[in-house]
């Protein structure tokens, strides 16, 4: 695979130029380009520049509003709702998260319910921002069907990622962001592009047979939930929490409405923020750190988010797939 070396600034500038050329205003282009650069910086390749052609597809078709403004509504002291108005999720989150932070710090617990936004980015940025504010955070969102329930061979669930963050004052927070599928679809697509195999149990062919070929999963096949029936139950939970609970669609309903342009579909997201200052005692952070140290002492244990923060310390250029760069440049 041929690669091109780009600085973090060059990654940002390439993303922003492309988005501005395809219907985004400066605010939307800046927010999304920042997210794309940070994904490349942190080693989240499936959510960096790799996503840009799909964003452009959605913008060109008119499905995504690159110049829209989300509408924030305070339903109660602890419930914030944001109507996405077909904006990209990072733009919606930029409006909603500050309100969620204020509500959670005041009330101890608060909920952000998002509808009608287009989410195709990583989820750790939103939960990490909340942890940086001293809050425990949980987030989930659904997608179009790509994952078969345990015991089935046809998709019903989205990849339905969940993200959790725990604040550590003076230290980097604990953050994980994971698909409830055996593997995120973006990672399967990257494996296909780069000619890699995927582990058995990742997904099935269109005939319902197990395969290690990512192409057979992407092209008419189906992903499997992680952990069999346990992962299937968690994926179902996400469907309910990011769908019916916030007032948006289930993944199968999203698929019926989507124009299949390759861009991210419209959907919902639920974020919960909890203040340990309100729910626990003065020793909550030290108590948790003792637990993390216990984990680390048990062998080659890596806390969630450690690798990402280690990658973040490297401010140097990143090697990007040359074919992808050429494709992105052709979009401007």
Task: Give, in order, the Cα–Cα distances in Å from 199 to each of 150, 203, 221, 292.
Answer: 17, 9, 15, 30
Strands (E), 128-254: 136-141, 162-166, 174-178, 203-204, 210-211, 222-223
Residue in 264, 274, 305, 236 with CA at minimum distance from that of residue 92? 264
| Of residues 188, 183, 186, the one with CA closest to residue 231 | 183
| Per annotation, catalytic residue among 47, 117, 126, 128 | 47
Three-state DSSP state, 212: coil
Token pair listed for 16: 């922003």
Helix (H, G, I), strand (E, B) or coil at 161: coil
Catalytic residue among 10, 46, 71, 78: 46
From 113, 161, 121, select the one nearest 273 (Cα to Cα): 113
Q: Which of 40, 126, 187, 239 is catalytic?
A: 187
Q: How far from 91 is each of 31, 51, 71, 133, CA to CA, in Å?
A: 7, 16, 11, 19
- Buried b vs exposed e over 296-319: b needs ≥16 C-beta within 10 Å? eeeeeeebbbeebeeeeeeeeebe
What does the block give as tokens for 143? 């997608």
Structure tokens at 287: 């108590």
Active site residue 40: no
Nearest to 267 by CA among 97, 128, 64, 30: 64
Active site residue 47: yes
What is the set of active-site residues?
Answer: 46-47, 187
């Amino acid at each position: 695979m041929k690669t091109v070396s780009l600085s973090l600034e060059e990654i940002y500038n390439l993303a922003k130029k492309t988005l501005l050329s395809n219907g985004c205003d400066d605010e939307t282009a800046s927010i999304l380009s920042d997210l794309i650069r940070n994904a490349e910086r942190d080693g989240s390749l499936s959510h960096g520049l790799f996503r840009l052609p799909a964003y452009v597809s959605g913008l060109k078709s008119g499905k995504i509003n690159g110049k829209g403004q989300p509408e924030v509504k305070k339903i109660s002291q602890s419930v914030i709702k944001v109507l996405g108005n077909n904006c990209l999720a990072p733009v919606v989150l930029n409006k909603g998260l500050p309100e969620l932070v204020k509500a959670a710090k005041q009330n101890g617990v608060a909920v952000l319910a998002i509808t009608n936004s287009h989410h195709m980015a990583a989820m750790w940025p939103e939960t990490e921002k909340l942890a940086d504010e001293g809050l425990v955070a949980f987030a989930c969102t659904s997608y179009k069907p790509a994952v078969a329930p345990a015991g089935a061979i046809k998709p019903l669930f989205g990849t339905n990622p969940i993200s959790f963050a725990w604040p550590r004052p003076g230290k980097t927070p604990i953050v994980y962001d994971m698909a409830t599928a055996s593997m995120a679809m973006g990672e399967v697509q990257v494996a296909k592009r780069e000619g890699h195999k995927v582990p058995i149990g990742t997904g099935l062919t269109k005939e319902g047979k197990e395969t290690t070929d990512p192409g057979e999963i992407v092209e008419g096949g189906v992903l499997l939930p992680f952990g069999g029936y346990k992962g299937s139950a968690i994926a179902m939970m996400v469907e309910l929490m990011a769908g019916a609970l916030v007032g948006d669609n289930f993944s199968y309903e999203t698929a019926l409405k989507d124009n299949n342009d390759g861009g991210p579909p419209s959907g919902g997201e639920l974020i919960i923020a909890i203040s340990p200052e309100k729910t626990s005692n003065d020793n909550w952070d030290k108590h948790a750190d003792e637990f993390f140290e216990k984990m680390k002492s048990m062998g080659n244990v890596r806390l969630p988010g450690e690798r990402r923060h280690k990658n973040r310390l490297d401010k140097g250029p990143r090697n990007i797939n040359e074919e992808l760069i050429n494709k992105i440049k052709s979009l401007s």
